[in-house]
Chain A
Amino acid sequence: MAGAVESHDRRDDHALVTALRGGDEQTFAALVDGWSGWMIRLARGHVPTASVAEEVVQETWLAVLEGLDRFRGEASLRTWVYRILVNQAKRHGIRERRSVPFASLTDDDAGPTVDPERFQGPDEPYPGGWRQFPQDWPEQVALTREVRTVVTTALGELPDRQRVVVALRDLDGHTADEVCDLLDISAGNQRVLLHRGRAVVRAHLERYFAISPARSGVTT
């Protein structure tokens, strides 16, 4: 998991900002290396291509430098950078598909995360119980190139808000609290988006293992 993203408290923020204001290039390089990954992923939620996302991240860092004197530490440094990022992304013209505010859930996020057909109905012996248990997966699942493609594709097909939350939590290793803070969403909504996104990725993997058990990424 992304070790580059560490939790910072406000004292760390103060030290970072002081170092940056003092012109410490190492601190700047470490921040750029540590944070650009999640920034690119977040930017991708707002702009159509990877190269535009990189541009947005570049411009964000420049805006961070220009605005550093205005940083008062009311929000965490990360949240402050994130807000600048969103503004830069908007200036780049958000894709036509209007982005939905994070605070509200949509139909995409409602309903069961596992197909209700997999569970017994009210007239069957065990209502709400599995009709058939999920099929076994290989003992050891390795991230082979094929498995990686399955996971990446699944992630790419998620609605933006689910993808961003899954990426922040599971790819970048942010905590639930940090994600709520970054996206300004409630703990409940964070969990709904995360749970649904992960369940969809699991379902993709399930289909993949069912179709190709022989090539299922078993480490030999």
Chain B
Amino acid sequence: MTCEEFVELVTAYLDGTLPEDQRRAFEEHMELCPGCDRYLAQYRTTIDLLGELPEDSLSSPGRERLLDAFAQWRRTTGTDRA
């Protein structure tokens, strides 16, 4: 396995979807190649940083409006909904 091949397999490796022989070749390469070992570490760091981004959320007025709408919907469920 070359370094150029290695870098394309990182996501499959992390997801555990590499076939057994490829996984072994990947790990052997990683142990011998400081460059690819570093690439993998940086790739993991990237994923970690992405995971730390703040979540989008609804504005509070938007959320309030939805809860009001739910209350309204609930009131009509008993009568309007068959």
B35 at the interface (CB under 8 A from A): yes
Interchain CB contact (< 8 A) of B17 among A61, A127, A143, A191:
A191
The DSSP consensus for interface residues of chain B is: helix
CB distance from A205 to the nearest CB of B (A): 6
Interchain CB contact (< 8 A) of B49 among A32, A113, A141:
A141
> In the complex, which residues of chain A have a beta carbon less than 8 angstroms from the beta carbon of B22?
none
B46 at the interface (CB under 8 A from A): yes
B71 at the interface (CB under 8 A from A): yes
A206 at the interface (CB under 8 A from B): yes
B55 at the interface (CB under 8 A from A): yes
The DSSP consensus for interface residues of chain A is: helix
Q: Are A191 and B35 in contact (CB under 8 A)?
A: no
B62 at the interface (CB under 8 A from A): yes
Q: Most chain-A Cβ atoms within 10 A of its Cβ — which of B34, B36, B62?
A: B62
Q: Which of chain A's residues 104-159 have a Cβ closer than 8 Å to chain B? A: 112-114, 116, 119, 126-130, 133-134, 136-137, 141, 143, 147-148, 151-152, 155
Q: Are A134 and B50 in contact (CB under 8 A)?
A: no
Interface size class of B (residues with CB under 8 A): 35 or more
Given contacts A23-B74, A119-B2, A195-B8, contact A4 B55 (CB under 8 A): yes
Q: Are A151 and B66 in contact (CB under 8 A)?
A: no
A85 at the interface (CB under 8 A from B): no
Residues of A within 8 A of B (CB): 1-2, 4, 21, 23, 25, 28-29, 32-33, 36-37, 40-41, 54, 57-58, 61-62, 65-66, 69, 112-114, 116, 119, 126-130, 133-134, 136-137, 141, 143, 147-148, 151-152, 155, 166, 170-173, 176, 187, 191, 194-195, 198-199, 201-202, 205-206
